């Protein structure tokens, strides 16, 4: 079946696939080989230099070229996944090896022995907030080598922001997106994955730049403030820069968000945002005026103080405490809160 579906496709595209140019290696970590110990696992031996990790696999060089372009737009550590067995030609004999690797995973996706062995890696996904996966498509699925990495490491990506860039000749990427979500069940996937294929590869640098800008809102495009409106009155909120505020600002760029909030504990107005934001909770003692993310999906507006595990969003810029309490209708029941840019 696997073969039947794709045979026509390959009859047309094999010459294109096989003519992929060699792309110079992305500058990754020096002496990676030395730093990897052959323990069959993740040594995570290199310290992260930032909050973003780009993980890629490339057989014929297309994904490597994508990573080269991507890392001119975003600052990231780069991890290349390599098969344990060197020198295999996944495309030989009408893609026989690649085909059987994908067939084995499809048959038993929950069985570790279905996944081809990969070399140990020297970056630990748990050290990063954002992970961008750059992978080829094989027989409509994610390339088997990348699936091996995610089968082993995907559980370390809980609550991380996950970006996905897929390179194919022409097949659509919906099954690759499904593979990624199966292998990283608790990742927070960006709404838009990027698909590079034979027809748009000529414009890939522009497409990657636009995707990175839209997805990660570079600091210089991140606003200092958002607005909170209650009963026709608006207060500015000075926001901090973290993954939660980035995601909130991205959502507010689409449309303002309104929600119902109620009094709790005599110190706050709390209500459900109607969506989850990437939390990075820590123990915080709040002050009146603080705007806080609670439980990843509720916004708390403080007119008093509390100590709990929260993610900071920002601070309302108010006059006196009485004015803040009047604005939030403290102790007076439900209010409708609108957040906007």
Ligand X SMILES: Cc1cc2nc3c(=O)[nH]c(=O)nc-3n(C[C@H](O)[C@H](O)[C@H](O)COP(=O)(O)O)c2cc1C
Q: What does each C-alpha distance from 97 to 89, 116, 341 come to in angstroms?
A: 7, 11, 52
- In the complex, minimum distance from the CB of residue 144 to ligand X, in angstroms, rounded to a whole number: 8
Min. distance of Cβ 143 from ligand X in angstroms? 7
Closest by CA to 125, choosing from 104, 95, 98, 146, is 146
Residue closer to ligand X, measured from CB, 139 or 294: 139
Nearer to ligand X, 103 or 238 (CB): 103
Q: How far is the CB of 168 from ligand X (least distance, A)?
A: 4
Select 20 or 257, whichever has its Cβ closest to ligand X.
20
User: Nearer Cβ to ligand X, position 52 or 167?
Assistant: 167
Binding footprint of ligand X on the chain (CB under 6 A): 6, 9, 17, 20, 58-63, 90-91, 95, 98, 136-140, 167-171
Q: Specify which residues 164 forms β-bridges with.
A: 133
Q: For residue 265, give the DSSP letter.
A: T
CA 308/CA 294 separation, integer angstroms: 9
List the one residue out of 89, 198, 69 whose CA is nearest residue 132.
69
Least distance CB 99 / ligand X (angstroms): 6
User: Cβ closer to ligand X: 6 or 157?
Assistant: 6
Closest CB 16 distance from ligand X, rounded Å: 8
Helix (H) or strand (E) holding 291: strand 290-294
Residue of minimal CB distance from ligand X? 98
What secondary structure does DSSP assign to 56-91, as a single string? E--SSSHHHHHHHHHHHHS--EEEE--BSSTT--TT
> Smaller CB distance to ligand X: residue 102 or 324?
102
Q: Write the CA distances from 337 to 162, 190, 241, integer angstroms.
A: 29, 26, 22
Please, are residues 318 and 325 in contact by the beta-carbon 8 Å criterion? no
Which H, E and C letters describe 2-38, residue by residue? Answer: HHHHHHHHHHHHHHHHHCCCCCCCCCCCCCHHHHCCC
Rounded least distance, CB 73 to ligand X, Å: 18
Of 171 and 242, nearer to ligand X (C-beta) is 171
Contacts of 61 (CB under 8 A, 6+ apart): 20, 21, 22, 23
Q: In whole angstroms, give the CA distance from residue 120 to residue 101.
A: 19
Q: Residue 285: which H helix or E strand, with range?
A: strand 282-285
Distance, in Å, from the CA atom of 87 to the CA atom of 65, rounded to the nearest integer, reads 20
The CB-of-331 to ligand X minimum distance in angstroms stands at: 60
Report the residue number, 63 or 337, with the smaller CB distance to ligand X.
63
* Residue nearer to ligand X on the CB measure, 118 or 261: 118
């Amino acid at each position: 079946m696997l073969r039947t579906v794709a045979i026509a496709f390959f009859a047309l595209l094999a010459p294109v696939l096989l003519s992929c140019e060699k792309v110079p290696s992305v500058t990754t970590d020096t002496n990676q080989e030395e730093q990897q110990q052959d323990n069959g696992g993740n040594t995570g031996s290199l310290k992260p230099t930032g909050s973003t990790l780009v993980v890629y696999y490339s057989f014929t060089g297309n994904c490597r070229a994508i990573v080269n372009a991507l890392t001119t737009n975003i600052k990231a550590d780069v991890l290349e996944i390599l098969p344990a067995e060197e020198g295999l030609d996944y495309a030989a004999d009408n893609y026989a090896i690649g085909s059987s690797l994908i067939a084995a995973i499809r048959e038993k996706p929950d069985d570790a022995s279905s996944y081809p062995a990969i070399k140990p890696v020297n970056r630990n996904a748990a050290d990063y907030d954002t992970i961008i996966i750059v992978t080829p498509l094989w027989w409509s699925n994610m390339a088997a080598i990348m699936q091996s990495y995610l089968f082993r490491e995907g559980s370390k990506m809980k609550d991380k922001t996950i970006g996905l860039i897929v390179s194919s000749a022409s097949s659509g990427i919906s099954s690759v997106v499904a593979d990624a979500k199966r292998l990283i069940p608790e990742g927070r996937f960006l709404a838009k994955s990027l698909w590079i294929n034979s027809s748009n590869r000529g414009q890939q640098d522009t497409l990657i730049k636009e995707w990175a800008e839209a997805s990660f809102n570079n600091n210089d495009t991140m606003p200092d403030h958002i607005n909170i409106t209650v009963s026709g009155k608006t207060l500015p909120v000075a926001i901090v820069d973290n993954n939660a505020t980035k995601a909130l600002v991205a959502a507010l760029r689409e449309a303002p968000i309104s929600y119902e909030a109620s009094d709790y504990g005599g110190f706050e107005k709390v209500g459900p945002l109607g969506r989850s934001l990437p939390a990075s909770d820590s123990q915080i003692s709040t002050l009146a005026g603080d705007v806080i993310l609670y439980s990843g999906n509720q916004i708390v507006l403080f007119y008093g103080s509390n100590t709990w595990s929260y993610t900071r969003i920002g601070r309302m810029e108010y006059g006196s405490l009485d004015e803040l309490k009047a604005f939030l209708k403290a102790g007076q029941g439900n209010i409708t809160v609108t957040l906007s840019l």
